């Protein structure tokens, strides 16, 4: 059994094409992610909205609007929300929108209500939403003061009283406090790396499939030789699966070490438990590989295709796939829980964000349960294999 184990291990390590996926793929992609997401955290900060302003008599008459825009466009403020470009009229502003010089423009109608005109590219854009919210806030303040003027005009009678009234509506006496519920501050880029590790684990299954396929007596000369060796088929398979597991686990550890040491991905300081997750993941991969390896006619390349499809539900393919993954996890949690790559990515996620190890244990438990199910089916298939000719 030890001889079979060593021989299988040597043959796997020498197969460069086989090891390209689980070794080169995560290293190339992690390097790229590391370069791409270097400033993703700061990327969520506001960029100033490029606003054109039609400065006519209506605009000048709107109380406090010009002061508000001056304040928001001040480069010395903590956040510069807007850059203001003066426009002669609406036609001039539209021409500037067409030429992409500005992202939208502001006009004020005869009754003093501001109107925001946005470029088509601003649809659903965060910056445009911020701009619209700021102007909503201005319109609301005007409405509040109109109510006060109608119900208690004495509160706006003199400048000092009016100032006190306005201050009551702009008070700092109300506030919100942000709760910190997770172990570490969430890092938007971590999700990509965890999904990448999960996809790599899916690819590792190819190693198991390749190794088990070779042991079939009619699949290769090595298989034919092994079938007449003086040890039982069970021992051959056990040694093969163990050797491929070790090889797959080693590939995952190399990818993990590269992400942790070179790309400096945050795993929440629980690297030891990450190795447990990798060991369980590679075990599941080997079980899946063994199942495919016992199925004649199925190519090992099927794992790359399946991993590509399942990775959409871990959010590997950018923000759109992350929204899809979140929606599926929220609406059909069972579908996500049945996705082994989702469970693998979630196990790393649990280690980063939760104090309790319960979510991590749940993910590992689910992966082990899947492993047992796959091993049971693979064992049944292996036992029933008969060869008419060798």
Stretch of 18-26, 215-223, 283-291, 380-388 lying at the interface with another protein (CB under 8 A):
18-26
Per DSSP, the three-state class of 161 is helix
- Per-residue binding string, another protein, 44-83, x by CB under 8 A, is xxxx------------------------------------
Residues 202-231 that bind another protein (CB under 8 A): 206
Number of residues that this document lists for the chain = 390
> Does 35 contact another protein by CB under 8 A?
yes
Residues 349-368 that bind another protein (CB under 8 A): 349, 353-354
Stretch of 68-76, 269-277, 348-356, 371-379 lying at the interface with another protein (CB under 8 A):
348-356
Stretch of 25-33, 246-254, 281-289, 379-387 lying at the interface with another protein (CB under 8 A):
25-33
Least CB distance to another protein at residue 111 (A): 11
**Nearest CB to another protein, comparing residues 185 and 388:** 185
Stretch of 32-40, 227-235, 241-249, 382-390 lying at the interface with another protein (CB under 8 A):
32-40
Q: Which residues contact 55 (CB under 8 A, 6 or more apart)?
A: 86, 87
> Does 319 contact another protein by CB under 8 A?
yes
d(Cα 105, Cα 119) in Å, to the nearest integer? 9
> Does 3 contact another protein by CB under 8 A?
no
> Does 84 contact another protein by CB under 8 A?
no
Give me the long-range contacts of 294-298 (CB less than 8 A, separation at least 24).
Answer: 294/212, 294/216, 294/378, 294/381, 294/382, 294/385, 295/381, 296/216, 296/219, 298/209
Phi then psi for 356, rounded to 5 degrees? -75, 145
Least CB distance to another protein at residue 93 (A): 9
> Does 177 contact another protein by CB under 8 A?
yes
# chain residues binding another protein, by CB under 8 A: 104
Closest CA to 51 of 144, 128, 113: 128
**Nearest CB to another protein, comparing residues 130 and 274:** 130
> Does 376 contact another protein by CB under 8 A?
no
**Interstrand relation of 104-108 and 82-87 (parallel, antiparallel or unpaired):** unpaired
> Does 123 contact another protein by CB under 8 A?
yes
Q: Which residues contact 131 (CB under 8 A, 6 or more apart)?
A: 49, 51, 81, 82, 104, 116, 118
Least CB distance to another protein at residue 53 (A): 13
- CA dihedral (91, 95, 98, 101) positive or negative: negative
Please identify which residue in 10, 61, 89, 115 interacts with another protein, judged by CB under 8 A. 115
DSSP per-residue string spanning 298-313? --TTHHHHHHHHHHGG
Please identify which residue in 13, 148, 254, 279 interacts with another protein, judged by CB under 8 A. 148
d(Cα 253, Cα 250) in Å, to the nearest integer? 5
> Do 92 and 67 touch, CB atoms closer than 8 A?
no
E strands along 222-295, which residues?
Answer: none
**At what angle are helices 233-257 and 190-215 packed, to 10 degrees?**
160
Please identify which residue in 2, 173, 334, 390 interacts with another protein, judged by CB under 8 A. 173
> Does 326 contact another protein by CB under 8 A?
yes
Please identify which residue in 54, 82, 87, 130 interacts with another protein, judged by CB under 8 A. 130
Least CB distance to another protein at residue 270 (A): 15
**Nearest CB to another protein, comparing residues 178 and 384:** 178
- Burial of 170 per CB tally in 10 Å (0-12, 13-18, 19+): exposed
> Does 160 contact another protein by CB under 8 A?
no
Stretch of 146-154, 226-234, 237-245, 271-279 lying at the interface with another protein (CB under 8 A):
146-154
Show the tokens assigned to 32: 């790229």
* Other Cβ atoms closer than 10 A to 297: 4
Token pair 């190399």: residue: 254
Q: Distances from the Cα of 322 to the Cαs of 153, 191, 192, 315, in angstroms?
A: 53, 9, 9, 4
> Do 371 and 284 touch, CB atoms closer than 8 A?
yes
> Does 185 contact another protein by CB under 8 A?
yes
Stretch of 69-77, 178-186, 233-241, 283-291 lying at the interface with another protein (CB under 8 A):
178-186
> Does 43 contact another protein by CB under 8 A?
yes
Residues 85-114 that bind another protein (CB under 8 A): 94, 97-98, 100, 104, 113-114
Show the tokens assigned to 95: 């021409």
């Amino acid at each position: 059994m030890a001889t079979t184990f060593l021989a299988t291990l040597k043959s796997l390590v020498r197969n460069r094409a086989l090891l390209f996926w689980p070794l080169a793929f995560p290293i190339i992609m992690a390097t790229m992610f590391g370069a791409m997401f270097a400033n993703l955290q700061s990327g969520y900060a506001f960029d100033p909205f490029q606003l054109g302003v039609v400065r006519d008599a209506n605009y000048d008459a709107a109380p406090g609007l010009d002061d508000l825009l001056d304040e928001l466009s001040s480069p010395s403020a903590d956040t510069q929300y807007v850059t203001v470009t003066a426009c002669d009229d609406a036609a001039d502003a539209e021409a500037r929108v067409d030429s992409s010089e500005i992202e939208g423009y502001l006009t004020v109608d005869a009754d003093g209500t501001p109107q925001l005109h946005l470029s088509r590219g601003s649809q659903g854009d965060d910056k445009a939403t911020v701009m619209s919210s700021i102007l909503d806030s201005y319109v609301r303040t005007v409405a509040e003061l109109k109510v006060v003027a109608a119900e208690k005009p004495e509160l706006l009678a003199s400048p000092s009283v009016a100032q006190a009234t306005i201050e009551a509506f702009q008070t700092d006496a109300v506030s919100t406090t942000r709760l910190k519920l997770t172990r570490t501050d969430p890092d938007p880029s971590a999700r990509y790396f965890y999904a990448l590790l999960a996809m790599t684990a899916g690819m590792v299954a190819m190693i198991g499939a390749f190794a088990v396929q070779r042991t079939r007596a009619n699949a290769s000369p090595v298989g034919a030789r092994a079938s007449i060796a003086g040890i039982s088929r069970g021992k051959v398979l056990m040694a093969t699966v163990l050797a491929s597991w070790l090889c797959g686990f080693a590939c995952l550890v190399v990818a993990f070490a590269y992400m942790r040491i070179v790309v400096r991905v945050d795993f929440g300081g629980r690297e030891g438990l990450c190795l447990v997750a990798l060991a369980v993941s590679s075990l599941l991969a080997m079980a899946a590989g063994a199942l495919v390896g016992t199925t004649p006619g199925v190519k090992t390349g099927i794992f790359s295709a399946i991993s590509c499809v399942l990775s959409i539900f871990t959010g590997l393919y950018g923000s759109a796939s992350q929204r899809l993954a979140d929606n599926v996890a929220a609406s059909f949690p069972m579908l996500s829980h049945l996705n082994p790559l989702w469970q693998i990515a979630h196990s790393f996620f649990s280690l980063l964000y939760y104090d309790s190890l319960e979510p991590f244990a749940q993910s590992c438990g689910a992966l082990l349960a899947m492993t047992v199910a796959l091993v049971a089916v693979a064992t049944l298939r292996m036992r029933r294999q008969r060869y008419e000719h060798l």
